[in-house]
Homo-oligomer: A and B are copies of this chain.
C-alpha cells in the first residue's frame, strides 16, 4: 500500500464522523445565547434521525430528551460528540470520550491558540489526548458542521441548505455560516460544511483527502487564512482538483488582510504571489471574494462543463446584450458570428428589424417560442460552447408589477384584466427552465441564466428528474464570471487529460 492509498484509507474513517448515527452534546443547554443551546436546539430542530445524548450535570430533560449528567452515563458509544464547555474541561472530556469509544469530537469551545502562547500549549495538549484516544478532532474554536445527507445541522446559526454536491471547508466560522445561509437562500445544494476552526488535528488537506471519496461531493470550496504546510496543501489540492474541482478563497492576501488574519485566527499567511502561481498551475480556481465562492458553487454543481469559450447570448433587450458581450470579451470569452441558417431559423419568430446576429436580441418579443428556439438553435450548433440567457426568466416580475399597477388604474371601470396572467407567466418560466435542463442533457453544454429582477426563488432552480438545474444569476457580470471560471477549469482538465 503506497502513502496515498494509506492516507485515503485513514481519512475514509471520517465517514463515521460525518454520517453519525449517535451524537452527544456536552454542555447542552436551553439558555438562549449559549453555544450548548444553539448547537443542541439546531440538531433537534433539524430533524437528525439518529440518537442524541445531551450531557449536562443538572440532568433532567431538555427539548423532550433525557439529559445525562456525565459522558460516563451515556449508555452506548457515540459516533460524534460536540463539546461546548470551557477550555479547561476539554482534556478530561476527551479522556472520557475515549473510554466511551467515541469516534470524533467537534470542539466548539474557544480560548485556545487564537488567544496566545498559553492557549496554543493547551491546544497541543488536547490534540495529543485525542490522538491517544483515537478520536478525530474538528476545531477547536469552530462554529460547527452541517451534514445535510445525514440530516445533521450542528452550527451556531441555523441555516438549512438543501442536500447537494458542494462541500465547503472554512477556517472562518462566521464567514462560513454566512455562506451557508446564502447557499440556503439561493438553493445551492450542500454535501458537507465544516468550520475547521484552529485545526488542532484535522487540517484542510485532511478534509480534502476525505472528500475525494465522499460519494455525495462533486465540488469543493475552501476558505483559508492559514495554509499551514504549504507543500502538502498544494500537493493534495492539485491531485484532488483533477477529480473534483476545488475553488479557493485565500483570506489575508494583502498586507492589510494579513494583519487582520493574524489577529483573527493567529494565522501567518505565506507569500501570496508564489502561492497564487502554484494554484494557477494546479488549475485551482483562486477567487477574491466570498460571493464568488457561492456563485461558482451554483454553476459548477448545476450545469455541464463547457468544452470551449464560444458563447451565444440570448437577450430580451439590446442594452443587456451589449453589456454582456463587453464582459465576455474582457474575460476571454468569444461571441462568434452565427451562420445564416440559424439567423433565418430564429428570425421566423421575431419582428423583421431584429438584430440578426449574436447576441440574439429578442427585441421585447412576447412570442413564447422565440427564446426556446433561439437557445436550442445556438446549442445545436457546434460553433457554440455555452449560452447566456438574459431576462427571460425574471421578466414575469416586471409583468406582475405592470398588471398590479394596471388594476389600480382600472379600479373605476370594470376590470378587463384576467386574473390568470401572472399564473401563466409563472408556468412559462417553470416550463422554460425544465426545457433548458433538457437541452443541457441533450447537447451537454451549459446555459447560464440571468434573471435581473429578483424572483425570490434563488439562483438554483432544480428540475425534477433532471441532473441539471436552471441557474439564474441576478446580473450578467456574475454569469460571465462563473462561465469564465468553468471554461478555465475545463481547459485545465483537457490539457491534463493525458497524464
Interface, chain A (partner B; CB < 8 A): 30, 32-33, 37-38, 40-42, 44-46, 61-64, 110-111, 114-115, 156-160, 170-178, 181, 185, 223, 225, 249, 251-257, 259-261, 263-265, 288-291, 313, 316-323, 325-330, 334-335, 353, 355-357, 359, 361, 364, 366, 391, 397-398, 401-406, 408-410, 412-413, 416-417, 421, 452-454, 475-477
Which residues of B sit under 8 angstroms from A334, Cβ to Cβ?
256
Which residues of B sit under 8 angstroms from A181, Cβ to Cβ?
397-398, 401, 452-453
Q: How far, in whole Å, are A329 and B178 apart by their CA atoms in the complex?
A: 23
B111 and A319 contact, CB distance less than 8 A:
no
A182 CB to nearest B CB, Å: 8
> Given that A263-B355, A291-B475, A359-B260 are known contacts, is A176 also in contact with B255, CB under 8 Å in the complex?
no
A263 and B357 contact, CB distance less than 8 A:
yes
B410 and A318 contact, CB distance less than 8 A:
no
> Given that A289-B323, A353-B114 are known contacts, is A173 also in contact with B361, CB under 8 Å in the complex?
no
Q: Which residue of B lies closest to A170 (CB)?
A: B319
* Complex A-B, nearest 3 residue pairs according to Cβ-Cβ distance, in ascending order: A172-B319, A174-B317, A264-B318
> Given that A41-B406, A477-B291 are known contacts, is A321 also in contact with B46, CB under 8 Å in the complex?
no
Q: Which residue of B lies closest to A175 (CB)?
A: B319
Q: 29 A-B contacts, Cβ less than 8 Å apart?
A: A32-B416, A33-B366, A63-B409, A111-B353, A157-B402, A172-B317, A172-B320, A174-B317, A174-B318, A178-B317, A178-B391, A181-B452, A185-B454, A225-B322, A251-B322, A251-B326, A254-B325, A254-B329, A255-B329, A256-B325, A256-B335, A257-B325, A260-B325, A261-B322, A264-B321, A264-B355, A288-B326, A289-B475, A289-B476
- Identify 10 new A-B residue pairs, CB closer than 8 A, beyond the known A160-B405, A291-B475: A64-B413, A172-B317, A174-B318, A175-B319, A256-B329, A256-B335, A260-B321, A263-B355, A264-B321, A288-B327
Which residues of B sit under 8 angstroms from A361, Cβ to Cβ?
260, 263-264
Q: How far, in whole Å, are A236 and B125 apart by their CA atoms in the complex?
A: 70
Which residues of B sit under 8 angstroms from A289, Cβ to Cβ?
323, 327, 475-477
B402 and A326 contact, CB distance less than 8 A:
no
Which residues of B sit under 8 angstroms from A313, Cβ to Cβ?
260
Q: How far, in whole Å, are A264 and B356 apart by their CA atoms in the complex?
A: 10
Which residues of B sit under 8 angstroms from A257, Cβ to Cβ?
322-323, 325-326, 329
A296 CB to nearest B CB, Å: 15
A115 and B263 contact, CB distance less than 8 A:
no
> Given that A32-B406, A252-B326 are known contacts, is A335 also in contact with B398, CB under 8 Å in the complex?
no
Residue among B33, B253, B322 making CB contact with A172, cutoff 8 Å: B322
Which residues of B sit under 8 angstroms from A319, Cβ to Cβ?
170-176, 223, 225, 251, 264
B327 and A264 contact, CB distance less than 8 A:
no
A254 and B326 contact, CB distance less than 8 A:
yes
Q: How far, in whole Å, are A158 and B400 apart by their CA atoms in the complex?
A: 9
B45 and A328 contact, CB distance less than 8 A:
no
Which residues of B sit under 8 angstroms from A249, Cβ to Cβ?
323
B45 and A412 contact, CB distance less than 8 A:
no
Q: How far, in whole Å, are A200 and B478 apart by their CA atoms in the complex?
A: 34
Which residues of B sit under 8 angstroms from A265, Cβ to Cβ?
318
Which residues of B sit under 8 angstroms from A323, Cβ to Cβ?
175, 249, 251, 257, 289-290
A320 and B412 contact, CB distance less than 8 A:
no
Which residues of B sit under 8 angstroms from A263, Cβ to Cβ?
318, 355-357, 361
Which of A45, A313, A319, A405 has the most chain B CB within a 10 Å cutoff? Answer: A319
Q: How far, in whole Å, are A353 and B289 apart by their CA atoms in the complex?
A: 27
A174 and B325 contact, CB distance less than 8 A:
no
Q: How far, in whole Å, are A409 and B328 apart by their CA atoms in the complex?
A: 48
Which residues of B sit under 8 angstroms from A416, Cβ to Cβ?
30, 32
A77 CB to nearest B CB, Å: 25
Q: How far, in whole Å, are A174 and B391 apart by their CA atoms in the complex?
A: 10
Which residues of B sit under 8 angstroms from A111, Cβ to Cβ?
353
A187 CB to nearest B CB, Å: 13
Which residues of B sit under 8 angstroms from A454, Cβ to Cβ?
185
A322 and B252 contact, CB distance less than 8 A:
yes
Which of A156, A160, A290, A334 has the most chain B CB within a 10 Å cutoff? Answer: A290
Q: Which residue of B lies closest to A317 (CB)?
A: B174
Q: Which residue of B lies closest to A156 (CB)?
A: B402
